[in-house]
Amino acid sequence: MNSTEPAQYLFNPVIPSLAVAGSDRRFPVRRVYCVGRNYAEHAREMGHDPDREPPFFFTKHPDGLLADGGVFPYPPGTRDVHHEIELVVAIGRGGADIAVEQALEHVYGYAVGLDMTRRDLQAEAKKMGRPWAVAKAFDHAAPCSALVPAAEIGHPGTGRIWLDINGEPRQEGDLAAQIWSVAEVIAHLSRLFVLEPGDLIMTGTPAGVGPVEPGDRLSGGVQGVGTLEIVVGQ
């Protein structure tokens, strides 16, 4: 290859996308936002007071999505990778400064996701006052199920959210325990970024986070939305 090689060597044209359940269509993904500490019990298990914090956000890379049924390669640079099962919101209509009352009109659909986290690197980042990117935005850090359109299932505000490892319960919660509702999350986020179709929002995890090991089978879900299963690779 020399400097006159065509751009295909320099630019990967593959747009990350999610399957749309029950159809052949794909949902092209633009950005992946995540909410920190959105369930009180999880905030407490991480050593924070859930009553004192407005929502805060971090991001993952869209090409870090991993489809349902996939193998999650155990990532480098860590010895403590944690699972965080989350409801994922897909934005279908963009906007800025979106009012809470109109926020759900911007939702295309929902999915089940895992906010995989290199917890040891996150702890170091917190201690040093450094960004969370290496803890949260590594390769394959966002396993996600197929999307289910809100036109089919509505907007789940309550319902069980859970994660099992090798058939044993690890995380258990209810969407009703979210500190910030989906509508409130969209409203807050849209004051910081212009939302566009294709944006995903991982809405936080209930209590029970913990480490995964090579060979583990992670299976979780959100009642009324769907399920997600991945295997941890070597």
**Which residues contribute to the site for Mn ion (CB under 5 A)?**
84, 115, 205
Least Å distance, CB 223 to Mn ion, is: 19
Least Å distance, CB 205 to Mn ion, is: 5
- On the CB side of 90, how many CA atoms lie within 13 Å of its CA? 28
194 CB contacts (<8 Å, ≥6 apart)? Answer: 94, 95, 96
DSSP 67-131: ETT-EEPPPTT-S-EEE-EEEEEEE-S-BSS--GGGGGGGEEEEEEEE--EEHHHHHHHHHHT--
Least Å distance, CB 47 to Mn ion, is: 15
Q: Tell me whether residue 20 or residue 136 sits nearer to Mn ion (CB atom).
A: 136
Q: Tell me whether residue 84 or residue 216 sits nearer to Mn ion (CB atom).
A: 84
Give the nearest residue (CB) to Mn ion: 115
Q: Tell me whether residue 39 or residue 108 sits nearer to Mn ion (CB atom).
A: 39
Least Å distance, CB 36 to Mn ion, is: 7
Q: How far apart, in whole angstroms, are the C-alpha atoms of residue 233 and residue 227?
A: 20
Q: Tell me whether residue 115 or residue 199 sits nearer to Mn ion (CB atom).
A: 115
Which residues pair with residue 90 across a beta bridge?
Answer: 109, 200
